[in-house]
Every structure is written in C-alpha cells, then in structure tokens.
Amino acid sequence: MIDLWYKNAVIYCLDVDSFFDSDGDGVGDLRGLADHLEYIEALGATCIWLLPFYPSPNRDNGYDIADYYGVDPRYGTLGEFVDFMQAAKDRGLRVIVDLVVNHSSIDHPWFQASRSDPEGKYGDWYVWSKEKPADADKGVVFPGVQKTTWTYDRKRGEYYFHRFYDHQPDLNIANPAVREEIQRIMGFWLQLGASGFRIDAAPFILEDLDKIQGTDPYAYLSELQEFLSWRESEAMLLAEANITMDMAGEYFGSGDRLHVIFNFPLNQKLFLALARGEAEPVTAFLKELPDLPLVGQWGTFLRNHDEIDLGRLEPAEKQEVFDAFGADKSMQLYDRGIRRRLAPMLGGDERRVAMAFSLMLSLPGTPVIWYGDELGMGDNMALSERDPVRVPMQWHPRGNGGFSAADPKTWVRPPIPDGPFSHRFVNAEAQRKDPTSLFATIQRLIRLRRACREIGWSPAEVVDTGEPSVIALKSQWRGGAVLTLHNLADRPLTIDLGPAVGEGYAGRSLLHQDAELRCDADGRCDLRLAAYGFEWLRLEEAEATAAN
C-alpha cells in the first residue's frame, strides 16, 4: 500500500532568502538553509515547503518565474540544491516545492518568444486577445494595487491576460504543449528528490480549460495526479485553492485528483473565533465538513507568506476580525486581509499564541507552520504589501540577529526594528535553551500531534462542553481516541468531562498545559482550563486506566 505520509506530517514553510545567509551578501541561500536543518528537525517538523527559489526578477517574491529548471543565483546553484536535498533526506525531512504554472514572469523566454512571433512555437503559450475584453477591470486579485487583468503589449500588438500583476502573464493551460511542459517541470524536480508540489493559484489554472467545449476542467487535476503517481508513487499535491466546501468533490475527486487542499474557509472562521473568544464559528464549520476520500486531506494553518484572506466571511464578521487584529488601515490589504504575523496580532501574549498553535494542530488535517511563528516573531509594517511577514529569521540576540553578517541595509528585507519583537527579545538561541519558552511549548505540541495519529486520519467530532468559549474535538481511529480542549476566553473555567469522554471511558492527560484534571471516587472528572488554556487527553477504557 502507498504510504500516505502527509496524513501525519507537520510541514514547515520557509523562504530561502529569509532563513540564513551563509556567504554574507544579505540574501539567504541554500547552503545556509542546509546548515540549519537541525533546527527544523529539533522543532519536530517532518516536511519542508520551499517557496519559489527559481531564477526570477523577483518582483513578486519569486512567484514571477523566469526559468522553471534552475535556481536563482542569489540562493546558490543547482548542485547546492541537490546538496540541500541530501542533507534534508539525511535528517528524515521531506521537501515539497512550489509549482507556479498559472503564470510566468514577463521576462521568461517563452513570453518573449510569444510576443515576438505569434505564429511560432510559443505563440499561443499565453492568453492573447486582439481587443481588450470589456470585463478587463473585473476579477483583479490585488484590489487597490492592480487595476486590470488585461494589458496591451506593443510588440505583439495585442492584449495579454494576467490574473495577477501585469508582469505575470498567464500561461495558456488549454494548450496541450503547455500541459506537457508542466509535466516535464514536475518530473525534473521529482527526479531531484521532491516529495511533491504546492500548486499555486490552483483554481485559476483551471480557468482556461473551461473554454474547451465538452471538457471538464477538473479532470486536469486527475491528469496531474496520474503523472505524479507514475513518476513517484508517494509524492503529493498540495493546492492553494480557496474553495467553498461544496466544491471539495470536484477538487479531490474520488481520490484521483488533489491530495491536500488548504482549508482557507476554516482559517477565516478560526480568526473570527479568536476575535470573539467564542468556539461557534469553528465548531459550526467543522460540523459541516464534507467527507473526503481516503487519500484526501485538508491543510490547516494559522499564518503563511500572504495576507490573511477574510473574503469568505460576512462583511460584519470581517470587520470584527479587522477590529480585533488589524484595526489600523495600514495593517489591512486588498480590502480583504490582514498583513501581520500571528504573535503581534495576538498582542504578544504567548499563552494565546500557544493556544492558537495547539488548536491548529488539533484540527482535522495536515498542519503547516510559517517559519518564525514558533518563536513568536513579529512583523515589519514599514514594508510594502505582503512583505511585513517575510522578515529575516532571528537566530540569536547579538548584533543584528544572526541572519547575515552583511550590513542590514543590504539585506533582502530589513530586520524588525527595536522593540518587543526584535531579535534581542525574540530569537531561536534563547528559546531553545528555555524549557518554558514558546518554542519549547510548540515543540512539545508538534511531538504530541505526531503521536496522536487519530487527528491526521479521522474526522473530528465536535463535543459540546456547555462552555461557549471551549472548542472540544474528539478524534477516533483504529481503536484509539484523543480529546482536545481549547479555551478561547481570557478567563479560567471548569468543565465536566463526563459527557465529553463518554460512558465507560476515562481521560489520561497527555499535556498538562495550564490545565488541571481532577477525578473523584464517583467517576466525575472536572478539567480546569486557565485563560487561553488547553489540554490533550488520550481516551481509554476506564478499567484499563484504573489498572494503570
């Protein structure tokens, strides 16, 4: 049977340019990353997701790719990529890479050939129109920054389509030659050891296929998985797809399409719940989650390299989250999101950050962590658009934090200014030495999540505790059961665990994190949760518990 390793994986996402600079040029690189894999392994992550590291003019953090078969010279060479992959393998770490094929850079040779020779090999590799469509100002992804989705190219004398920025022309996925090239790209990185791909902008990739009469655009996802499974049977496809739950069947298929999809709607409900200090937004959503095929999985997360997209919340709900976590207009982006890191949003309260992490790890799916959030790193709001959360990693309290020996003025992005989130107060070295640090807490939680395989393999049953601020989830798989409880409120409370645990069962604490479990002779068990407290319980038959 194929190893569905991603079901119980913990994915650590990072940007090579922000992690560690080994050669003193102010830009993180593959050698620096390889030399610091011990940190990721010690945290407990099992897989690394690398943001784009390909050659690029870097107008959009590398998502404007100029060569799909290379490494940006700032990060190293293809040989150093192979060295990094071997170093990751030696530590038991898998690696997935970004597959960015909705668009390329305007500088890509394919686009330059397409605009120069409409009748040539690459003439229809992009989406062109002799007339500017009437709806060119509709459907922009970056409101307030992007004005249109169609731009005139003087050389070709036509308009080209770009769902994103005008320097990112959309590839014509309806062209079989383009789809063949995408498979070639996948095969190349699989051959170099990748365990799968994070598919950027998955829904937009399918748009062009709608134009082919009689074609089911979602069938292309089956085509991708078929090729992937042929080349590497255990590789996975993780999609960036902000879909509603009624679309899950189209994207997962019968297990023959995508393996993992980021659950963006759940992420939005999670921040609404945190803003209110109430469980209902999350618990109500979880009760309506659709059934998935065996190989299917949700991806859960708190923050990532983009803004928090609140676009699927009701306007009043979105405003609640804005008011709680990004009230200043400078903290908001594209009329829909917040461009801050987790710790500053939660007021730097490590109890609350730890609780949010614990909750994310307990949700049904595969957890994905944005680098530095395990330390409670802050953001640099002086940076433009989505860059505030992409600040250099803070390794130690000395000098400028250990990311690079270069003058910070030459860094790929400036460090966080002096303040409570600067490297003097938030850094890996100090937290790894401190058993009470946020890093140490999240390290324990990740190890616990990996031990509780029930969460990755089963749906979550929402348990009513009678407390509006408590999210209680029970996961059961192959005879095992785990109960997790999280208090979203800023006040302590006590819960009667009897109904939650179930008749004939008892709970054995796995964590004891700001929680106290008391059971009397009559079998009543009360759990006291501190403000923002949480607890994980292994449920066992009462007789077995008593015997132990």
* Mean pLDDT of all residues in 351-369: 98
Among residues 431, 449, 467, the one where a domain terminates is: 449
Among residues 419, 449, 479, the one where a domain terminates is: 449
**Three-state DSSP string of 327-378:** CCHHHEECCCEECCCHHHHCCCCHHHHHHHHHHHHHCCCEEEEECCHHHCCC
Give residue 507's pLDDT band: very low, low, confident or very high (50, 70, 90): low
Whether residue 233 is found in the same domain as residue 191: yes
Residues spanned by the domain of 333? 5-101+176-449
Q: Which residue has the tokens 């798989």?
A: 477
Q: How far apart are CA 262 and CA 259, in angstroms?
A: 10
In the three-class reduction of DSSP (H, G, I as helix; E, B as strand; rest coil), residue 546 is classed as helix
Q: How far apart are CA 3 and CA 16, in angstroms?
A: 28
DSSP annotation string for 372-397: TGGGT----TTS-TTGGG-PPP---S
What tokens were used for 399? 């000098």
For 21-30, 37-46, 132-141, which range has the lowest pLDDT when averaged over its residues? 132-141
Give residue 517's pLDDT band: very low, low, confident or very high (50, 70, 90): low
* Mean pLDDT of all residues in 497-503: 66
Q: How far apart are CA 16 and CA 51, in angstroms?
A: 7
* Mean pLDDT of all residues in 284-303: 97
State which amino acid sits at residue 79. Answer: G
Whether residue 275 is found in the same domain as residue 356: yes
Whether residue 371 is found in the same domain as residue 227: yes
| CATH number of the domain encompassing residue 152 | 3.90.400.10
State which amino acid sits at residue 38. Answer: E
CA-based nearest residue to 378, from 343, 427, 334: 343
Average model confidence (pLDDT) across the chain = 94
Whether residue 413 is found in the same domain as residue 465: no
Our count of domains for the chain comes to 3
Max intra-chain CA distance, the chain: 84
Q: What is the pTM of this model?
A: 0.95
Check whether 186 has a pLDDT greater than 90. yes
| CATH number of the domain encompassing residue 375 | 3.20.20.80
Whether residue 137 is found in the same domain as residue 254: no
> What per-residue confidence (pLDDT) applies to 548?
46
Check whether 158 has a pLDDT greater than 80. yes
> What per-residue confidence (pLDDT) applies to 547?
46
Q: What is the pLDDT of residues 459-471, one digit of tens each?
A: 999 999 999 999 9
Q: What is the pLDDT of residues 301-341, one digit of tens each?
A: 999 999 999 999 999 999 999 999 999 999 999 989 999 99
Check whether 506 has a pLDDT greater than 60. no
> What per-residue confidence (pLDDT) applies to 441?
97
Distances (CA, A) of 475 to 4, 454, 460, 486, 537: 18, 6, 5, 15, 11
CA-based nearest residue to 157, from 111, 115, 201: 115
CA-based nearest residue to 438, from 363, 446, 281: 446
> What per-residue confidence (pLDDT) applies to 487?
97
> What per-residue confidence (pLDDT) applies to 63?
97
483: left (phi over 0), alpha (psi -120 to 50) or beta: beta
Whether residue 197 is found in the same domain as residue 291: yes
Point out which residues pair with 48 in neighbouring strands. Answer: 12, 95
Check whether 157 has a pLDDT greater than 90. yes
Whether residue 97 is found in the same domain as residue 129: no
Expressed in angstroms, the distance from the first to the final Cα of the chain is: 35
State which amino acid sits at residue 274. Answer: L
Q: How far apart are CA 352 and CA 324, in angstroms?
A: 14
* Mean pLDDT of all residues in 403-429: 96
Whether residue 376 is found in the same domain as residue 348: yes
* Identity of the highest mean pLDDT range in 128-142, 273-287, 511-525: 273-287
Whether residue 322 is found in the same domain as residue 254: yes
CA-based nearest residue to 358, from 533, 127, 181: 533
Whether residue 93 is found in the same domain as residue 107: no
Check whether 499 has a pLDDT greater than 90. no
8-state DSSP, 508: E
Whether residue 128 is found in the same domain as residue 198: no
Whether residue 313 is found in the same domain as residue 324: yes
| CATH number of the domain encompassing residue 496 | 2.60.40.1180
Q: Which residues are catalytic?
A: 200, 240
Q: What is the pLDDT of residues 212-268, one digit of tens each?
A: 767 899 999 999 999 999 999 999 999 999 999 999 999 999 999 999 999 999 999
Among residues 427, 449, 471, the one where a domain terminates is: 449
Give the angle subtended at the CA of 487 by the CAs of 486 and 489, to the nearest 5°: 155
Distances (CA, A) of 161 to 46, 60, 149, 207, 506: 38, 17, 6, 12, 60
